[in-house]
Structure 1
Amino acid sequence: MSSATAVSVRRLAWAGVELTAGNDRVVIDALKNTADLAAFQGMPRRPMPDIGAPEGVRTHAFITHLHPDHCDRLLLAEIAGSEGSTVGCHTPIVDVLAGMGVTAIPQKMGEPREIGPFTVIPVASHDWRGDDQVAWIVETSDLRVIHFGDTIWHGKWWEIAREYGPFDIAFLPIAGVLTRRDGFTPTNQPATLTPEQAVEAAVVLKASTACAIHYDLFNNPPYYTEQHDVRGRFLRAAQARGIHAVAPGDGEPVPYAV
């Protein structure tokens, strides 16, 4: 890992996460502009928190996949155009981002990239409809976290745990969303982890803290429907499994076990 540096961790809106150390910060799946989401996910239930960087801090944005609630093209173009700031992605989507007007630095699966005190690595994740998706590991000498955008349950948890674990924080979607979209046969299978599945993923990953993301901001039945009481179910399931679990609000710091 990189040299010792104090890291602050904040949950942004929806699936967004921010880690700041010194003059560098990493943001994953940061979301600011929501107009493109209205037809499918509906409008957000509340305003987006401020995600502007303090003066002198360089922003390095990463995205897990191209769905517009994780890939805010306007925000990414803004970040990519800021001096000293960058956008990072996994290799298969770099040309798509370029077509959106976003210049990105691609990384192959498992390839580390050094950014100030951070090391950032893309690893396996799985999307409900088969779209290309990764999870991002971000680590320093004192902290190792993993962020899953809106993954479903899959068989790579154990491989990730063996190669990269344990983790101080695992950011996991918990909404258990049910979807209805043209061109996709409707099912009753969730398109993201359920609260209980998120806890089980944290168990496998040997995460000291499981942090809930990707819930309680969008709900647009019948197209995009969040399951009931997901926050409560997540915290209760974690307690039953002996996992330290947190569900901070938009823009709030992430309290994690040390």
Structure 2
Amino acid sequence: MIIRRLQWAGAQIEAKNVRILIDPIYNSYNKEFFGKPLQKFSSLEDILYPDAVLITHLHSDHFDPDYIIQSFGLETRLFVPKGTEEEIMIKYGFKNVKGFLVDESFIIGDLTITASYSVDGLGDEQVSWIINDKEKTIIHCGDTLWHGYWWGISKKYGPFEAALLPINGAIVCDSDMINSYQPICLNPEQAIAAARILESKLLIPIHFGSFHNPPIYNETEDIKSRLLLTAEQEKVTIKLLNHGEAIEL
């Protein structure tokens, strides 16, 4: 199985002659909210047509319908959280969209893909995606915050070969909401704890470094140093991948 980190939280998974994209984005994110990206985003033109695109949730930094349509067309197979598929088809014109509840699975080639728990910082529908190629199992958790489902996920689907987890602990201060001043996704220490509970051999950090737009979207400080320090303390193995960089498990 080959994991290629795409920009922000995106990933490309290749295994058993099947190519999967998770949360690929390019240019349609909410620029007023996230600001100008601090890391270069490419159009991902070298990505070949995927067998499926998995979306963890519909926030603009995880779901880029314009990019998907322009690159792969309206017939692209989209797999999304249950309850969001009708909106996607009506609003954007996608023809092949299926929604999944937690613990529901589907098969593409020799891969079994399962929707699992993920908790969105703003209360919107979100899932993690678990991918098994009959030899290895990985999990991509979108931009989940800390929750109590880690133990159940680990018991039912673990141990994992790799866990792709957000680490930027972003705090949102939006004039349209009562601000909590609490992180809406995992911070470095929480990501390490989640990886340890999931019994993941490898933590691949995602969802960090690209966006910091005070006072609206505020990335936590000293991400990498905190991540590496806590990983050493907790004996969790980390692989930091740049955008476009890949690792073979």
Correspondence for 2:160 among 133, 156, 167: 167
Report how far residue 50 of structure 1 moved: 4.8
The answer to whether the aligner puts 1:215 opposite 2:198 as a matched pair is no
After superposition, the Cα gap between the structure-2 partners of 1:171 and 1:180, relative to the gap in structure 1 and judged at 3 Å, is same
- The TM-score normalised by the length of structure 2 is 0.92
**1:53 Cα offset (Å):** 5.5
Contact 1:12 1:49 in 2 (8 A): no
Distance verdict in 2 for CA 1:117–1:53, change over 3 Å: farther
Residues 234 and 65 from structure 1, CA distance in 2 versus in 1: closer, same or farther, beyond 3 angstroms? Answer: same
Q: How many residues align?
A: 247
Q: Are positions 1:114 and 2:107 aligned together?
A: yes
- Kindly tell me: are residues 54 and 37 of structure 1, through their superposed partners in 2, closer, same or farther at Cα, counting changes over 3 Å? closer
> Match for 1:70 among 50, 62, 73?
62
Counterpart selection for 1:155 from 148, 152, 165 = 148
Give me the whole-angstrom Cα distance separating, in 2, the residues matched to 1:24 and 1:18.
Answer: 10
Q: 1:11 is matched by which residue type in structure 2?
A: R
Matched to 1:12, the amino acid is: L
Kindly provide the amino acid, as one letter, of the partner of residue 3 in structure 2. Answer: V
Report the AA paired with residue 122 of structure 1: A
1:13 alignment partner in structure 2: 7
Q: CA deviation at 1:80?
A: 5.8
Tell me which moved more, 149-158 or 104-113.
104-113
State the match for 1:4 in structure 2: none
- 2: CA distance, partners of 1:24 / 1:53: 16
Deviation at 1:82, TM superposition (A): 6.7
Is residue 94 from structure 1 mapped to residue 88 from structure 2 by the alignment? no
Distance 1:128 1:54 in 2: 30
Structure-1 separation of matches of 2:239 and 2:211: 20
Q: What letter matches 1:32 in structure 2?
A: Y
Query: Aligned to 2:27, what secondary structure does the other structure show?
Result: coil
| 1:79–1:86 contact (8 Å) kept in structure 2 | no
Q: Is the 8 A contact 2:144 2:166 kept in 1?
A: yes
Following superposition, the deviation at residue 46 of structure 1 comes to 2.8
Residue identity matched to 1:212 = P
In structure 1, the residue matched to 2:232 is 239
Q: Does 1:45 align with 2:38?
A: yes
How far has the Cα of 1:250 moved from its partner? 0.5
Q: Which runs of 5+ in 1 are unaligned?
A: 1-6
1:183 deviation in Å?
2.6
Letter of the 2:23 counterpart: D
Task: Out of 102-111 and 149-158, give the one that drifted further.
Answer: 102-111
The Cα shift of 1:111 comes to 1.4
Contact 2:173 2:181 in 1 (8 A): no
**Residues in 2 aligned to 1:203 and 1:174: alpha-carbon distance in whole angstroms:** 14
- How big is the shift at 1:116? 1.5
State the shift of 1:78 in Å. 3.9
How many angstroms does 1:75 deviate by? 2.2
- The DSSP-based 3-state class of the residue aligned with 2:112 is strand
1:30 pairs with 2:24: yes
Separation of aligned partners in 1, 2:65 and 2:47: 21
**1:230 deviation in Å?**
0.7
- Compared CA separation, residues 130 and 191, structure 1 to 2 (3 A): same
What is the alpha-carbon distance in structure 1 between the residues aligned to residue 150 and residue 105 of structure 2? 19
Q: Which 5+ residue runs of structure 2 have no aligned equivalent?
A: none
Cα displacement string for residues 156-179 of structure 1 (whole angstroms, at most 9, x for unaligned residues)? 111111111110000100001011
In structure 1, how many angstroms separate the alpha carbons of the residues matched to 2:202 and 2:161? 6
8 A contact 1:138–1:144 mirrored in 2: yes
Identity %, equivalent residues: 33
AA in 2 matched with 1:172: L
SS in 2 for 1:20: strand
